[in-house]
Amino acid sequence: MIRKTRLFTPGPTPLLPAAQFAMAAADIHHRTAEFRALFTRVLSQLKDFVGTKNDVLVLSSSGTGAMEAAVSNLTSPGDRVLVLTAGKFGERWSGITKAFGCEVDVVSAPYGSTFTLEAVKAGLKLETRAVFVQATESSTGVRHDIEGIAKLLKSEHSEALLIVDAITGLGTTPLDMDGWGVDVFIGGSQKAVMIPPGLSYLAVSQRAWDRMEATYNPRYYFDLRKERKNAAKGESAYTPSVALIAALGAALDYIAGQAEGDLVEGRKKLVDNAETCAAMTRAAATALGLKLFAPVGFEAAAATAIVPPTGVDSGIIVKGLRSKFAAIVTDGQGEMKGSLFRIAHIGFFDYMDTIAIIGALEQVAIAANLPLPNLAFGTGLIAAQKVYAERNK
């Protein structure tokens, strides 16, 4: 049979065709009225997509660039900050904050788990200036309690800013920046908005803007105040990725179109889609006898992390899906390599994609004769079908 390559990775994700067409047609200069109209519209749409009335900025960088911008703009050397980490991307916060001279306290949880609010409270100090955390940790498939952390900071009367890497959280999990009192949400283009890597975006609260006036870490390209000033005129401070911004506009139009032009409702549908695909996948894996890496109740919808049977390297499954079906899933990162594999649900995935990857997983598992208690064709598919039917009555 022919093989059609399909991405089931948590970034880059499958591309939206309308966004690809928009990129091909984006032959415009960035200092023209045509681009200013496009950029102004996209910035306005991003507010609805994030779910905020705060300013949203777009940077021509990966999500890590926006993470660095959050640190460099909101801290000074010697500031005490708190990093909450339970995976590879939480560890990235530690690396960035240390690089900018912060005094870093860390609350960590083992891979495959999340930290308790009691542990977060114990890690806070009177002098803590900022808290850095992921909304979802895509390296482990775990969702963190951002609302609970925001409430804790308020109850402790902490002056710490709450900065959230929501790169895989936006578009896959309910998030309320303004209602919860989050100071920065960070997103990335290669995730739920279904376009190639190369753009990041930040929603920034007024409290964070005020903090920037008193911080003095070095910044130049990632000077958010400069970007804000230019965004008010429909421009970016430096040469933007024009094609990607055109693609982002097309993607946001598509999301709005899923709810008759209402981008807020379209975002909710996108989240529900990810949650449904994730629930189907979890049910299928469990029915086959596979274990989930994330704790019950904290499973992320961006990606499902699945543990192979004891004694089996997850690379067998990853390589089997690629060689037999050209289906690209991801192995564990770093020291987790070989101990789990991840199937993504973020962005341009749907019911048909989910059924396909579950069926392919059954084929690979049976061909490899994996030691699973319920290994049989249809076991995972039946469980997934039941979940879909229940969620779509």
Residues pairing with 185 in the sheet: 164, 203
Question: Which distant-in-sequence residues (6+ apart) come within 8 Å of 78 by Cβ?
Answer: 101, 102, 103
Please tell me the distance from the alpha carbon of residue 267 to that of residue 51, in angstroms, as a whole number.
9
The number of beta carbons lying within 10 Å of the beta carbon of residue 378 is 11
Which structure tokens are listed for 72? 């460099």
Please, which pLDDT band fits residue 393 given cuts at 50, 70 and 90? confident
Contact 85, 93 (CB under 8 A): yes
Please tell me the distance from the alpha carbon of residue 243 to that of residue 62, in angstroms, as a whole number.
15
Instruction: Indicate the SS3 state at residue 76.
Output: coil
pLDDT in tens, 287-324: 999 999 999 999 999 999 999 999 999 999 999 999 99
CA dist list (Å): 267 to 42, 160, 204, 247: 15, 29, 19, 17
pLDDT in tens, 2-31: 899 999 999 999 999 999 999 999 999 999
Interval 55-83 mean pLDDT: 98
Pick the CATH number of 17-257 from 3.20.190.10, 3.40.980.20, 3.40.640.10, 3.40.47.10: 3.40.640.10
Q: Which helix (H) or strand (E) holds 300?
A: none
Please, which pLDDT band fits residue 149 given cuts at 50, 70 and 90? very high
Sheet strands side by side (includes 200-204): 55-59, 200-204, 184-188, 161-165, 128-134, 80-85, 103-108
Contact 287, 383 (CB under 8 A): yes
With residues binned 3-state (H G I as helix, E B as strand, rest as coil), the percentages for the chain, rounded to 5, are 45, 15, 40
Percent of the chain topping pLDDT 90: 99
pLDDT for 210 equals 98
pLDDT in tens, 159-176: 999 999 999 999 999 999
Domain boundaries defined on the chain: 6-12+264-391, 17-257
Tokens 């991003």, residue located: 46
Please tell me the distance from the alpha carbon of residue 379 to that of residue 170, in angstroms, as a whole number.
32
Q: Which helix (H) or strand (E) holds 179?
A: helix 177-180
pLDDT in tens, 76-99: 999 999 999 999 999 999 999 999
Please state, rounded to an integer, the average pLDDT across all residues of the chain. 97
Pick the CATH number of 6-12+264-391 from 3.30.70.980, 3.90.1150.10, 1.10.8.50, 3.30.930.10: 3.90.1150.10
Q: What secondary structure letter does DSSP report for 302?
A: S
User: 216: exposed, middle or buried (C-beta count within 10 Å: 0-12, 13-18, 19+)?
Assistant: exposed
Which structure tokens are listed for 351? 């019911």
pLDDT for 41 equals 98
Please, which pLDDT band fits residue 208 given cuts at 50, 70 and 90? very high
Is the Cα torsion angle 296, 301, 304, 305 positive or negative in sign? negative
pLDDT in tens, 241-253: 999 999 999 999 9
Q: Is the pLDDT of residue 1 over 90?
A: no
